[in-house]
Amino acid sequence: MDRRVVVTGLGLVCAIGDNTEACWSSAINGVTGIREVISVNTENCYANKGAEVPIKSSELSGENYDRSSLLCIKAAGEALADAGYAVTKENSDRIGVIIGNCVGGAASIDKYFTDEIKGSGGDSSDILKMPASAIANNVAKHFGLNGTTANIVNACAAGTISLSYACDLIRAGKADAFAAGGSDSFSSLAFAGFHALHALDENACAPLNHNSGITLGEGAGILILESYEHAKARGAKIYCDVLGSGVSSDAHHITAPRPDGQGQMLATTRAVKKSGLDFNDIDYVNAHGTGTAKNDDAEFLSVHTLFDGNDHLSVSSTKSMTGHCLGAAGSIEAVLTVKAVCEDIVPPTIGYNDEDLVRLKEKAGAIDFVPNTRREKPVNYAVSNSFAFGGNNASIVFAKNPHEIPDHTNKDRIFITGIGELLGEPRCEIEADDYKEHGIKMAFWRKLDRFSQLQLISGMRALSDAKITVTDDNSGDIGIIIGTADGPMTEIVNFQKNVIENGTANGSAFSFPNTVYNAAGGYFSIFAGIKGYNATNANGVQAGLQSLCYAADVIRNGDESIMVASGTDENTDVTEYLYGKLGLVHGKLREGLGEGSVSLILENENSANARGAKKYAELAGWASAHKSVEFGTLKGSESALKAAVEEACKAAGITPADVELICGFADGNETVDSIEKNMCAEMFGNITPIQLKHCIGESRAAASAEQAAYAAKLIADGKYNCVLAASFGVGGSYSAVVLKSV
């Protein structure tokens, strides 16, 4: 039972309540939070319904953060208090923050460009509120949490993937606890986007029923997850256990699910099997249940395929009351699912009339879809499902009582077996041959924004270099982790400016799908046919290296045999403009901005040997660390860099004295450069780091991934036996990897 992860605290804010108990009471009593939209101008829109939180941003924590961060801080504060978790100097580095999100600080993006376009001039302080990278860092700073920090940006599956990742890190012994979940605020960006896709319901959404569209919502859900031993030692109350989770890709379409539900079923099957359960053991499924025909039809098929024969299963969609809260949806629903397990009450799906009930009976068969009225029944095991743009799927299982779960930990060595690079300073020169070399047709290529184009080329180059052909037989054994600092900020900004200038009713249906951070991973999985684990992490410059750490954790956990780990960031006129407004293009950075994407293939030893793969280097040790400082700064976080380096060296079975070369992260910023210089002097004596950014510019996540790629190539060429790469993220996050000769 030493792998037990338990829930000890809950925090929730959404349209049906400003705390967990209020939300739970509303949910089980069928009280909706869906009303006419207030915060977004819906003039000339065919729909005007939304599920907004009736609390002004100024009434939240009082800090100058984006609304997504403020909602998350409120939920996290409740969860920490509920858990009785007293954060101290002694324990703060053992509790981390992992937050799911869809499009970052959308409210701040709207405010900044509205001010600019309407002539009052944008406030540059709003720029640091725009990226999703800020959210987990802001939560960590507010509460003084110094454990591993990450922002998972897989759209509507992000909240559930955050919980899954947190549990995996706890089981790996890399943290005692996490404040994990998701947050998203109501925004003109999201409303205009779904309106452009004609995906909004004119009335309150009716998931698993009318299937005429979604109703957007907002909110945040946070769970305090802990190892059982840690929770027991501090005398914490325990709500329930978290058993298994599953993450997968559809590899089908950027906005629509696979009609056959295969990707959904893979995620749910993984979650149930990793829990040591059978489908007949499950008492309740909190469905993704968005209210669109394609999503609900695929989920009906998935549920029937997996659970037909289970005569005690109940299924419901709480989105009928909360609306669809995007990156927060999975964690909001996880909190409600935990309450269902604890209280033995299944919340209903509301909105059925008598005619609807007749149709439901035909579609539901023997499965209880809990229309209109809650169901009181034993709930020993429950599944919460989340599916998303990009074809991302995630499921997680909660249990009333402890249950032995299989240990699939793979202790094989992990090797880098492929490298794909596309780098440029200030920008990459992409020619037709760059995409044609992998059979990428123009019809597909032109759908992609630049961020996705960069990722697709480097990812395909890495697969080609590793001589990996994706087939139906191995597609589920390969996964993707993409790290980024800024994501598709160009698409986000251009879409938002169009909405400001032309109205909410005139958003672009063509560009909206590319505004979500995980679109690049979605397009890559679709083209390559990869159906395994798929996550995107937005966490600053170091996100490229953190993607390697994350990917290695997925392999070590036994979820996949092969992972594509990437760092990707673009440099466009929008990028130059925003960084220029912060004074970071000419002045604080000696190296100019660059862009690119670097992908590395990580593979466990058994898989690599079976394929006869070439091995560039062994990924012998990896670690991420965090010391909370204000987002946009680094000063005061130096101890986290040292901690990440020490932990990576320890995991690799070496001491700093064994390191022969350091691939450095200095970029000309005085604070950045001094942190690296001081670390090297203190830990490595006279080693002078190689500074790759002299050649490639500050290409952020791509640069940090290139640090590892360059090190691997040096080792493969026989020039070094042991190389360290480390990098930073503003706000105090650091990652480090140790590569060794094969």
Residue 641: alpha-carbon gap to chain centroid: 23
128-152 exposure pattern, b = at least 16 Cβ within 10 A, e = fewer: bbbbbbbbbbbbbbbbebbbbbbbb
Q: What are the tokens at 532?
A: 């395994």
657 secondary structure, DSSP code: G
Cβ proximity of 367 and 303 under 8 Å: yes
Cβ proximity of 318 and 333 under 8 Å: yes
Q: Using CA atoms, how far apart are residues 365 and 345, in angstroms rounded to an integer?
A: 21
Neighbouring CB atoms inside 10 A of 278's CB total 11
Phi, psi of 33 (to 5 degrees): -110, 10
Q: Which amino acid is at 346?
A: V
Q: What are the tokens at 463?
A: 């697969």
Check residue 108 and give left, alpha or beta (phi > 0: left; psi -120 to 50: alpha): alpha
Per residue, the 3-state secondary structure of 403-446, as one string, reads CCCCCCCCCCCEEEEEEEEEEECCCCCCCHHHHHCCCCCHHHHC
Q: Using CA atoms, how far apart are residues 355 and 372, in angstroms rounded to an integer?
A: 13
Cβ proximity of 709 and 615 under 8 Å: no
For residue 118, give the 3-state DSSP assignment.
Answer: coil
For residue 204, give the 3-state DSSP assignment.
Answer: coil
For residue 630, give the 3-state DSSP assignment.
Answer: coil
Residue in 460, 586, 539 with CA at minimum distance from that of residue 700: 539
Cβ proximity of 101 and 158 under 8 Å: yes
Residue 52: alpha-carbon gap to chain centroid: 23
Residue 94: alpha-carbon gap to chain centroid: 21
Phi, psi of 62 (to 5 degrees): 90, -5
629 secondary structure, DSSP code: -
Residue in 202, 224, 463, 183 with CA at minimum distance from that of residue 331: 183
Neighbouring CB atoms inside 10 A of 89's CB total 8
**Element at 112 (helix H, strand E):** helix 106-117
Strands 95-100 and 149-152: parallel
* Catalytic (active-site) positions: 156, 288, 324
Q: Using CA atoms, how far apart are residues 375 and 739, in angstroms rounded to an integer?
A: 54
Neighbouring CB atoms inside 10 A of 276's CB total 15
